Homo-oligomer: A and B are copies of this chain.
Amino acid sequence: MSDDAFTPRPEHRFTFGLWTVGNRGRDPFGHEVRPPLDPVESVRRLADLGAYGVNFHDSDLVPDGASPSEREAIVKRFRRALDETGMKVPMATTNLFSNPVFKDGAFTANDPAVRRYALAKTMDAIDLGVELGATVYVCWGGREGVECDAAKDVRAALDRYAEAVNALCGYVRDRGYDVRLALEPKPNEPRGDIFLPTVGHMLAFIERLERPEMVGVNPEFAHETMSGLSFHHAVAQCLWAGKLFHIDLNAQRAGKFDQDFRFGSEGVRDAFYTVKLLEDAAWDGMRHFDAHAYRTEDADGVWDFARGCMRTYLVLADKARRFASDAEIQEALRAARADGLHQPTVPAGGLDSIRREQFDLDALGAQGYGNERLDQLVTELLLGVR
């Protein structure tokens, strides 16, 4: 696994959350299997593996309830590790889900005091992220949902959600921070239903905010796939709307619990089209992995996991390049009339000219699009036999 072409380097802009390599393997039915991992150790190991940077929840770095001096010491030591390794912190986020205080929600908790605490904790976390250089702030509303639908008026919940995001945008602006917010949707787990369950619902929500230009989406492979939806279609809509502010790459099987598997280990076709989309669009954001090692793994397995995420991305990016230069694939695209989708539909003569047009429906209905051949060519490209 040492082929140079697939060796990660900082210019590939791969990032990991401290919580990803630091995941200790706890699950709903089992205890932790791995010892705690020092954030500084994570920085050093990821730097060695060729990553660009790390991201964190406030509580991943500074334990809740730490004193100002403890916080300072932790940040100083962490910053030193960043400086020594050249690693960056492009994104930060807040843990608004672990503490029992959030059991009924954070920004949409029924109790206003909980909502105020969630805002206070988030402002602190934004400060911490900015201090370490983050320019993207991710909000995952994991507890913003409900099991007993009677307990929440959904429209009121959306009002409160919008109020919170508006307030945070105002905070960022007032402080003069160079930070954009990226909201992360998820359909369910840990709540029975989470509000704004898909990339689409989140994109729509953003349009009703006071400063929509400051807010985008952080789509996650696993979350969109849990609902059986195409992840790369969702990412494409984000790009189309100018709203891809961050991305969470991992793997997931549809209709299952949130798996957060190693990127590319499931759903490799959707992974390929996602990589192809990001590379074709020359998207300038981070390739962030929000995943963790299987619970079967010891500490070494964690680094195998991290290495695998990045290698698979590079392998798929290479295949995206081959797709573009493969003459047979390009010919099949022409047979599928793929270029026709880039032409405007309405001719110079306008709608009137369309109404006068005579359509040969039999001929149009009879033509084939050669999609079986095209899809097989992509399959063989993916399987490495062309």
Contact A147 B294 (CB under 8 A): yes
CA distance A333 to B156 in the complex (A): 14
Binds B, one of A10-18, A45-53, A98-106, A131-139: A98-106
Residues of B within 8 A of A236 (CB): 154-155, 158
Contact residue among B1, B110, B120 (Cβ-Cβ distance under 8 Å from A337): B110
- The complex is assembled from copies of this chain, and their number is 4
Selected from B28, B167, B253, B301, the residue in CB contact (under 8 A) with A370 is: B301
Task: Indicate whether A340 reaches chain B with its CB closer than 8 angstroms.
Answer: yes
Interface residues on A, range: 35 or more
Is A345's CB under 8 angstroms from B163's CB? yes
Residue of B nearest to A367 (CB): B298
Assess whether A98 is in contact with B30, with CB atoms less than 8 Å apart: yes
- For the complex, give the distance between the alpha carbons of A364 and B171 in Å: 25
Residues of B within 8 A of A239 (CB): 155
A116-B354, A117-B361 known; 6 other A-B pairs, CB under 8 Å? Answer: A25-B100, A117-B357, A197-B233, A227-B229, A297-B371, A297-B372
**Measured between C-beta atoms, what is the minimum distance from A386 to chain B in Å?**
8
Residues of B within 8 A of A354 (CB): 116, 119-120, 123
What B residues does A304 contact at CB under 8 A?
A: 370, 372-373, 376
| Distance between A369 CB and nearest chain B CB, rounded to angstroms | 4
Closest 7 CB pairs of A and B: A384-B384, A200-B201, A298-B368, A200-B200, A100-B365, A203-B204, A154-B236
Can you name the residue of chain B whose Cβ is closest to the Cβ of A368? B298
Among candidates B167, B233, B256, B337, residue contacting A189 with C-beta atoms closer than 8 Å: B256
Whether A104 and B296, one on each chain, are in contact in the complex, defined by CB atoms closer than 8 angstroms, is yes
Given contacts A102-B30, A187-B229, contact A368 B296 (CB under 8 A): yes
Nearest-Cβ distance from residue A113 to partner chain B, whole angstroms: 6
The one of B268, B299, B373, B383 in contact with A301, judged by C-beta atoms closer than 8 angstroms, is B373
Which has the most chain B C-beta neighbours within 10 Å: A98, A204, A234? Answer: A204
Cβ A262 vs Cβ B171 within 8 A? no
How many Å from the CB of A33 to the closest CB on chain B?
4
A18-33 CB mask vs B (1 if < 8 Å, else 0) is 0000000111111111
